[in-house]
Chains A and B, each alone.
Chain A
Amino acid sequence: MSATILDVSNLSVVFGKGSAAVPAVRGISFAVARGETLGIVGESGCGKTATGLALLGLLPSSGRVTSGVARLGNRDLLAMSPRELRGIRGRRLAMVFQDPATALNPVLSIGRQVSEAVAAHNSELDRAQAKKRALDLLEAVGVPDPAARYRDLPHVWSGGMRQRAVVAMAIANRPRLLIADEPTTALDVTIQAQVLDLLRLVQGETGAGLILISHDFGVVAEMSDRIAVMYAGEIVETGTAGKVMETPRHPYTAALLRSVPDLDLDREQLEVIGGQPPNPSLLPSGCPFRPRCFLSGGRAVCRETAPRLDGEKGSHQAACHFAAELAIR
């Protein structure tokens, strides 16, 4: 494995205070290497987005990080002052937002917004130089004829083009790590593929690590080198994309994979996972996935002990008492 860019260990995030406190992320650890894509999948409310926001120091005021270290280079993101964070955001780590319609300021021209993203960390550039860089960036992300479009306001552009502009802003200062939270969810399927291609190209150009947060296993499978599956605020399975996809060792992963529509399979109905993710403040005893698990079968150990991530670190780990059984099935 090449140089690690981000190393997160034991990250916990809690929303609310006192007895109403809800644990959203419960002691997760992961790492991202240079040029690597880590896909984080899971249903809504599993703590995927809270993880991303915690890394950027953007948790809403009701949320806070209760434990953990997130090393970016040799510095801990979670221990930084707002001032230090401001210096690092955009330059070392940047975010691609879900919906380009809301991630761009409606009353500023797109060119202006990109050039200001450039200028945010390059105060030595004058306006013309920042504009030149912005034009280069827009061209790099595949905006046709950026000079003619420079003064357009965001609403004139299509969703796919806007997402390109958002990506251009994110990579304006060649961050080492990009966090993309559902970057394609708000887009048409055809545009999705283009934006994913673009993210891959940009990553190849800049050598940035990429954390791709998505509920769409298809997107994650296509993009990721490694995958982390989150359930109820924990990583329940992690490993290289091939291993997780081909030989899932957690029943949740297996069920998620089975519920991805597949045109090759002649099935009457789509498989679904019964029930809902548990309420984070009322987690079931033992394994949080137990009530929805097809593997547990009511065995006592599932009810009594919460499984820990087990397996070969870096290669393939899962948090299930009966991971071995799943491998046999």
Chain B
Amino acid sequence: MAGLIPAYDSAEKLELLPTPTSPGQVAVRNVRRRPDAILGGILLGIVVVAALLAPALAPFDPFSPKGPSLAPPSPPHLMGTDALGRDLWSGVLYGARTSLTVAFLVGLMVLVIGTLVGTTAGYRGGWVDDVLMRFTEVLQVLPRFFLALVVIALFGPGLDRLVLALGLSSWALLARVIRAEVLSLREREFVEAAVTMGAPVRRIIFRELLPNILPSAVVVLSLLLAQVMLLEASLGFLGLGDPNTISWGYLAGQAQRFLRVAWWLSVFPGAAIMMAVLGLNLVGDALTETLGGRT
């Protein structure tokens, strides 16, 4: 069939814009215009780098005593040492790993479950939607911190259970947002157009719906991850974290007893938690505005 129908005159080529700007480029440009977003990105970047390079950056093993007890910040112990003479700088670096690992795994679980529930409810509608949404509402009223406490009380402390407990209880908001997006996208003409072309349901969901939902999902997720990090730190602070891994919450919790004699023990882990959570929130806010998501 090609070639049988003549192409239209080249004048119409002019209608095509010469330098296309992709939505990605636009988003990048918009984020650049916002200093708070840049700050958030830098803070988050530092945490990520610290987590990735912890073994290379940390001068000591965070668990073994390597110096004088309760030494104030000074070389070689940049952030000082704790009561057992363990290097705090190394501890904070390794703590970033724990924090990010928990956030990443919980995020992954939330993404999978939330997307599954949200698209199923929105696309199928009817009683499936009713059942899934009522269940989601039950989850939404469940206090997550309390749930995590109960799980740890029952099964003992450990990162695996913590991730499971948080992941299984945190997807409600994402599922609701995705469901709402699916409901509105489903009525859009390009989805109908795909249907008129005989596209299978799988294709409609993965090609037509999900790519359009991504911006809102990213926004919800970024803010959710900040909450997860805080929860993890709070549990660690209460001594309910995994005793075999260093975490910021654990470090801050241990510091309590020495609050008056060793300020550095509280300040540095606290600052690290603040950096990570603030960074995520700032980035999340900027994403909300540029990607137009709602939370």
Interface residues of A (CB under 8 A from B): 56, 58, 86-91, 94-95, 97-99, 102-108, 116-117, 120-121, 135-137, 139-145, 149, 152-153, 156-158, 160-161, 166, 169-170, 172-173, 194, 198, 201-202, 205-206
Contacts and interface: CB of A to CB of B under 8 A. Distances in A.
B211 A108 contact: yes
Contact of A116 (B7, B22, B23, B203): B203
A137 B12 contact: no
A197 B211 CA distance: 34
B200 A86 contact: yes
Given A56-B196, A89-B197, A158-B16, A136 B2 contact: yes
Which of B7, B16, B190, B194 counts the most chain A CB atoms within 10 A? B190
B212 A106 contact: yes
Nearest to A197: B8
Interface in B13-35: 13, 15-17, 20, 22-23
A136 B1 CA distance: 7
A139 B2 contact: yes
B197 A94 contact: yes
Interface in B161-188: 188
A143 B8 CA distance: 7
Contacts of B195: 58, 89
A99 B196 contact: no
Interface in B264-285: none
Contact of A89 (B189, B196, B207): B196
B197 A144 contact: no
A97 B192 CA distance: 9
Given A99-B189, A158-B16, A90 B198 contact: yes
B3 interface: yes
Given A91-B198, A105-B194, A205-B5, 9 more contacts: A58-B192, A104-B190, A105-B211, A116-B207, A145-B13, A152-B20, A161-B12, A170-B196, A170-B197
A98 to B, nearest CB: 8
A161 B15 contact: yes
17 contacts: A58-B195, A86-B200, A88-B198, A94-B196, A95-B196, A97-B193, A102-B190, A103-B193, A105-B208, A107-B23, A107-B211, A108-B207, A117-B197, A135-B2, A137-B1, A144-B7, A161-B16
Nearest to B8: A142
A308 to B, nearest CB: 33
B6 interface: yes
B4 interface: yes
B10 interface: yes
B16 A156 contact: yes
Contacts of B17: 156
Contacts of A145: 13
